Amino acid sequence: MIIEHKLVIADVKLIADFRRYIIYWKKRFPEQAITDFCSVIRINSQAPEDQQENYYLLCDVVPEDRILREELQQDRLKNILAQQQLERSDAGFERECMFCSEKFKGNRSVLFNHMNDEHSFNVGLPDNIVYCNEFLDTLQKKMDSLQCLYCEKTFKDKNTLKDHMRKKQHRRVNPRNHEYDRYYMINYLELGKSWEEVQSEDDRELRDNNDEDWSDWEEHPMSVFCLFCEIQADTTEKLLLHMKDCHCFDLHTIKTDLRTTFPPMKTTLCCALCLTTRRSWLYKTRMKRFQLLGKISQALRH
């Protein structure tokens, strides 16, 4: 159209149904002059007149074009919502997990929850996904080609790929890959806006709300409760003193006796003071905590 007819259509990728869009304007152009619908862009304006060319820009500045785009968007949204509802209520879903090959039947959310819980692979809420089988086919194809789903690097074998995704925390899809936009409902909700633009608007609203006046906010004082009675205190120090004087419970002394101030660890995974190994150090610290809890429990019983 650009070469043969000098027609430029603005924001083609944002048109919900390009085929219906073209058919509509194909019928409208013969009815009126093209300049009634399009802005004229003249190139080589400084050249002789026979070398100048006019291009015609069709965009949503024209009210008729804007209304057409919005109608196409609304029709697509209705179809997407119907498809989403069909998939959400489909009890005949059946598919294998792409990480462990375990088979799942019933609602699709069972598989997505399994991949999240067992394999830490999160694609978002299942109810926000549409064209589920196509989405999973796309992910499975990438996995079969030994490609990481996040950084999209390719590896020599499946074990290397799994280790990479686990160590690098790459068990999620790449949010910058617009191939996945088709499978998320958020990309269909507003005309001409991707999920990134919708999200940035939400962030701006949060920042704007932070500028509100909170001068009338009345902050209530902090209350700390005694372990033995109904007494409350506004600081931890006051409450500890109360328990020591009234209940003979000295938490600082208990901690000191059990030496529960743990030393820092070296990068060699040995204790900095006693040079015990990490496993031994962890065992000792856990035992000290158990002793402290036992001491507190005993005091509470008395």
How many helices (H) and strands (E) are present in the chain, helices listed first?
A: 10, 7
Distances (CA, A) of 9 to 50, 117, 178, 255: 25, 46, 21, 74
Full domain range(s) for residue 242: 224-301
Based on the fold, state whether residues 26 and 94 are members of the same structural domain: no
Q: Nearest CA to 87 among 115, 109, 116, 103?
A: 109
3-state secondary structure of 90: coil
CB-based contact 139:173 (threshold 8 Å) = yes
Distances (CA, A) of 266 to 27, 205, 263, 271, 289: 77, 45, 10, 6, 21
Distance CA 292, CA 187 (A): 54
Structural domains counted in the chain: 3
Based on the fold, state whether residues 52 and 100 are members of the same structural domain: no
Is residue 104 in some structural domain?
Answer: yes
**Mean pLDDT for the stretch of residues 187-214:** 66
Comparison of pLDDT for 199 and 269, the residue scoring more: 199
Based on the fold, state whether residues 118 and 184 are members of the same structural domain: yes
Distance CA 86, CA 129 (A): 12
Q: What is the average pLDDT value for the chain, to the nearest integer?
A: 81
* % helix, strand, coil for the chain, step of 5: 55, 10, 35
Instruction: Assess whether pLDDT exceeds 90 at residue 252.
Output: no
Angle between helices 236-247 and 251-258 in degrees, nearest 10: 90
Instruction: Assess whether pLDDT exceeds 50 at residue 268.
Output: no
Based on the fold, state whether residues 19 and 40 are members of the same structural domain: yes
Based on the fold, state whether residues 99 and 79 are members of the same structural domain: no
Is residue 212 in some structural domain?
Answer: no
Instruction: Assess whether pLDDT exceeds 80 at residue 124.
Output: yes
Reported as a pLDDT band with limits 50, 70 and 90, residue 83 is: very high
Instruction: Assess whether pLDDT exceeds 70 at residue 59.
Output: yes
- Per-residue pLDDT tens for 37-50? 999 888 877 777 77
The DSSP bridge pattern shows strands 39-43 and 53-58 to be antiparallel
Point out the domain boundary residue: 85, 106, 121. Answer: 85
Point out the domain boundary residue: 44, 70, 85. Answer: 85
Distance CA 167, CA 196 (A): 27
- List, as one string, the DSSP characters of 201-264: HHHHHHHHHTTS--TT--PPPP-EE-SSSS-EESSHHHHHHHHHHHH---HHHHHHHHT--PPP
Residue 121 carries which DSSP code?
-
Distances (CA, A) of 122 to 39, 148, 241: 46, 14, 48
Based on the fold, state whether residues 239 and 283 are members of the same structural domain: yes
Is residue 215 in some structural domain?
Answer: no
Distance CA 264, CA 201 (A): 44
Q: Is the pTM of this model over 0.95?
A: no
